[in-house]
Amino acid sequence: MTDRRLWRSNGRVAHSSLVGQVGETPLTDGEVLGVRVPVANLLAEPDGALDRQLIHGDRFRVLETRNGYAFGFAEPSGYVGYIKTSHLVAADALTHRIQTFGAHLYPTRSIKTVPAMTLPFDSFLTCKEQKDGFWKTPHGYVPEQQVIAIDTLQQDTATTALRFLGVPYLWGGDSSFGIDCSGLVHAALRAAGLACPRDSDQQEAFFDAVPDNGPLQRGDLVFWKGHVGMMLDGERLIHANGHHMCTTVEPLEVVAARIKAAEGKDVSAYRRP
C-alpha cells in the first residue's frame, strides 16, 4: 500500500523519481525553495489537516503551485504535503542555525527595535555579514550570540530534548512553539545531525533495536503504537504528550502503566538511534 506521506504525486503531477509508476501523470524535478516564516504548516490537503511543520530555512521541493498552495515534499525527509506559497522563498545557501531556544530578527542592528520575526530553536539562516554584534540575514538582523555555524551539532540528544521541557503539546508540531511526541525525537536528533523520519511509526521502523534487549540508556527510544519518548537514563522518559499537554519527564513505568490503562497498549519497541 502506498504511504501518502511519502508518495510524491497528487494525481496532477509527480516527481521524476516516480517514472514508470504513475501512468500518464506529468513528471517534474520541481524546484527547491526555503521556508521564509518562523513555522510553516505542512498539510495533508490545501486547507486540510496538519501533518507536520517545517521551520525557518527548511527546504521544500515544490512540484506544483495552485490556488495559493505549493504541493511537494520536505527535504531531506521526503514528507509530502501542501504549504502556503506565501511561506516559501527562493533558497539561499544556509550558513548558520539558531542555538538559543528562540531568537528575534530585528529590522536594524539594535535590540531596542520591534522584532521583525521570532524564530524557533534550530532554525536555519543565511548569514551574510557580521558587524556590531549582529549577523545580517535576508529577513533581518540576529544577535551573534544566538547563532552557530550550521555544521555545529548538539552531541547529546537527550540534552536537546530536555530543552523542550514544558513546551506546549501540538499535534504535528515541530518547533519550540509547540511539539508532539515524534516531533520532539525528530528535533533532538536533527540537532545532532542524525537522520530521523518524522512520524513515530516511521521512526520505529527506521532505527535498530536495543541490542540483546539490554538495559535502556540515555537517548534510547521507547515506542507504543502512536507514541514515542526518549530515555534520560535507565528509568526516566521525556516525551511530548497529550495527557499533560506539554513535554514532561516521568518514570517509564508510570507512562507505560497509564497508556496501558487508558488505551490498552503495551510498549511495542525499544530502539537505539
> What would the pLDDT profile of 67-106 be if each residue is shown by its tens digit?
999 999 999 999 999 999 999 999 999 999 999 999 999 9
Shared domain for 132 and 166, answered yes or no, is no
Report how far apart, in Å, the C-alpha atoms of 244 and of each of 158, 167, 185, 222, 250 are.
20, 11, 18, 18, 11
> What would the pLDDT profile of 30-71 be if each residue is shown by its tens digit?
999 999 999 999 999 999 999 999 999 999 999 999 999 999
Shared domain for 45 and 65, answered yes or no, is yes
Residue 145 in this model has a pLDDT that exceeds 90: yes
Total domains in the fold of the chain:
3
Indicate whether 30 belongs to any domain.
yes
Shared domain for 81 and 102, answered yes or no, is no
Shared domain for 168 and 135, answered yes or no, is no
Indicate whether 5 belongs to any domain.
no
Indicate whether 9 belongs to any domain.
no
Which amino acid would we find at residue 53? Q
Compute the half-sphere exposure of residue 151: CA atoms within 13 Å on the CB side of its CA.
0
Q: For the chain, where are the alpha helices, taking DSSP H only?
A: 157-162, 181-191, 200-206, 252-263
Q: 260: domain CATH number?
A: 3.90.1720.10
Shared domain for 130 and 81, answered yes or no, is no
Indicate the pTM of the whole model: 0.95
pLDDT value at residue 109: 97
pLDDT value at residue 31: 98
Q: 144: domain CATH number?
A: 2.30.30
Indicate whether 4 belongs to any domain.
no
Shared domain for 108 and 182, answered yes or no, is no
**Residue 219: which domain range?**
157-272
Q: Quote the Cα angle for 146-150-151, to 5°.
A: 125
pLDDT value at residue 243: 97
> What would the pLDDT profile of 110-141 be if each residue is shown by its tens digit?
999 999 999 999 999 999 999 999 999 999 99
Give the residue from 39, 67, 90 where a domain finishes. Answer: 90
pLDDT value at residue 212: 81
Shared domain for 46 and 113, answered yes or no, is no
pLDDT value at residue 222: 98
Compute the half-sphere exposure of residue 225: CA atoms within 13 Å on the CB side of its CA.
5
Q: 48: domain CATH number?
A: 2.30.30.40
Indicate whether 184 belongs to any domain.
yes
Shared domain for 175 and 248, answered yes or no, is yes
Indicate whether 131 belongs to any domain.
yes
Residue 1 in this model has a pLDDT that exceeds 80: no
Shared domain for 176 and 265, answered yes or no, is yes
Torsion of CA 215, 220, 222, 227, to 10 degrees: 170
Q: How many CB atoms lie within 10 A of CB 168?
A: 14
Shared domain for 130 and 222, answered yes or no, is no
Shared domain for 167 and 265, answered yes or no, is yes
Residue 213 in this model has a pLDDT that exceeds 80: no
Shared domain for 162 and 268, answered yes or no, is yes
Indicate whether 3 belongs to any domain.
no
Among residues 213, 232, 18, 36, the alpha carbon closest in space to that of 137 is found at 36
Among residues 161, 145, 146, the alpha carbon closest in space to that of 222 is found at 161
